[in-house]
Amino acid sequence: MDDNPLRSRRGFLGMGVGLLGAAGLAACGDGTSTSTPPVQADVPKELLDAAVSLKGSSMGVLSQKLYSEAANAALDSSIKKFADTTGTKIENSLVQADAGDVVAKIDAEVKGGVARDLAFMTDSRFVAQFQALGDLEDVTDTVKALTARYGEPTAESKNYCVFDGKWFAIPYHFIGIGSFLRKDWMQDKGISPKDVYSWEELRDLCLAISDPAKRRFGWGMTVNRSGDANGMIEALINSYGGSIASNDGTKVTFNSPETVQAVSFLGDIYTNPKYKPMLPPGVAAWTDSSNNENWLAGILGYTRNQFSVYADSKTKKNPVYDRTHVFADCIGPATDNPLLLGQSQAFVVFKGAKNAALAKLLAQYLVSAPALLGVAKEAPGLALPAWEKVWDADPYFTGGDPAFPIMRKITQLSLPLPTKNGLNFPQRASAGQQAAVGAYVLTDMMQQVLQGTAPARAVQAAHAKMVQIFTQQGLPQ
């Protein structure tokens, strides 16, 4: 991995092509036209009209890297079409979101006046941090325009993108998050699939379907530093009735009996010899791509992931796809239903953007069905509409995969989802909570448990670190 999480991908040049865009550019990227006949651009007329005065201008985009390279290429294609059609120049760069210092680096760029104009990043992980740092422009006008055109955005984005009644991020696409089991391994053991499991049921099922002699390892999750581990640990703690912060996002509440119970349960999976047969070799050192790779290799019985792993198995015709049982997330002692919200990628316009007007127009184009479709087909379930009417704009979004209708229902959930002990999810977007997760406090805590620290003591130490982080984020405890 590059030391710098920001790296340029390609620049797009489309100068003076009017309402018709050239289908391709010369390989050297100097703007020389090719013999390819022009094609009708799928850019809405209202955006073309609004961009007339911006012809010849340029801007930069920062894209959160998707697991599917083909999906990244499809996004490039949509941006190129917009640039060609509007006669503008747009440079797109990738960001590796799981680089631990990504927020600090982008913040420094914004403060230094050299940030890209537009970026998209996961709303529940980053938007509150950038907003608290004063790095974002108010984009309420753009969201209102999109709402008039496409109806309501996904429910969870209203929690993570709105601050004091103003939108600071524009919902882009919905990210499916799923739990996956090998239904053929279950069938071999006479186990019928279910839509919901408790964490205890899932643990026991994973052990039952494991057979190391056949390279079948039931439990395909790590607690090593990674986004997937962060998500799993926090989801499990929440289902037990614990949380990093209070419902208003301001006070650290991590050190609780419920959190200790959850951490004890999870630590036991990795330290109790009883469960060793279901742990794949090297799981303690896995990174974010490891569970994807091992799932696609056919040696895992369960994993929890964004739909990237599901998308890859489908687009690459991996036999694992037809053997996958997709189910809702697990429940714990404090929940009767899974606290599965999904996530959205959201566009942000950075403070001081040199071409905010073009950035907002590009964002409006990229959420539309013509632009999103190519990305969605290369990443099934990973890139789905974030807007109500976009779902119905193309048959693929409603019928492209059996999982899509389930994902759509998640986007329309009535939120928040309550626990039995008074927590509500999603909680209010909190820069402290997002920064604590981004600093890998949760995974580092679990590593201490695996090395022999008592769960109660590890939770207490993690709580103390979170207090420091919240204070640094302007939320003194």
In contact, 289 and 303? CB cutoff 8 Å: no
List all residues 6 or more positions away from 24 whose beta carbon is below 8 Å from its beta carbon: 34, 36
Residue-wise pLDDT tens digits, 74-132: 999 999 999 999 999 999 998 887 766 889 999 999 999 999 999 999 999 999 999 99
Query: What is the per-residue pLDDT for 67?
Result: 74
Q: How confident is the model at residue 26 (pLDDT cuts 50, 70, 90)?
A: very low
Superfamily of domain 6-176+343-410 in CATH is Periplasmic binding protein-like II (3.40.190.10)
pTM (global) more than 0.95: no
In contact, 230 and 217? CB cutoff 8 Å: no
In contact, 79 and 362? CB cutoff 8 Å: yes
Instruction: Kindly list the distances between the CA atom of residue 40 and the CA atoms of 22, 44, 51, 149, in Å, as whole numbers in the listed order.
Output: 9, 11, 17, 22
Query: What is the per-residue pLDDT for 100?
Result: 65
Burial grade of 144 (CB within 10 A; 0-12, 13-18, 19 or more): exposed
Q: Give the residue extent of every domain in the chain.
A: 6-176+343-410, 177-340+439-472
Helix (H) or strand (E) holding 343: strand 343-349
Q: Do domains 6-176+343-410 and 177-340+439-472 have the same CATH topology?
A: yes
Q: How confident is the model at residue 285 (pLDDT cuts 50, 70, 90)?
A: very high
> Is 50 exceeded by the pLDDT of residue 250?
yes
Residue-wise pLDDT tens digits, 421-468: 999 999 999 999 999 999 999 999 999 999 999 999 999 999 999 999
Average pLDDT for the chain: 90
What number is the average pLDDT over the span 244-270?
98
Residue-wise pLDDT tens digits, 296-308: 999 999 999 988 8
Q: How far apart, in whole angstroms, are the C-alpha atoms of residue 22 and residue 40? A: 9
Smallest CA-to-CA distance from 301 within 175, 376, 203, 410 is with 203
CA 360 to chain centre: 21
Find where tokens 């990043």 sit: 121
Strands (E), 149-190: 162-163, 166-167, 170-175, 177-182
> Is 80 exceeded by the pLDDT of residue 348?
yes
For domain 177-340+439-472, give the CATH number.
Answer: 3.40.190.10
Q: How far apart, in whole angstroms, are the C-alpha atoms of residue 35 and residue 372? A: 27
Residue-wise pLDDT tens digits, 137-193: 999 999 999 999 999 999 999 999 999 999 999 999 999 888 999 999 999 999 999
> Is 80 exceeded by the pLDDT of residue 334?
yes
Which segment of 293-297, 309-313, 333-337 scores lowest on mean pLDDT? 309-313
Query: What is the per-residue pLDDT for 101?
Result: 84
In contact, 330 and 202? CB cutoff 8 Å: yes
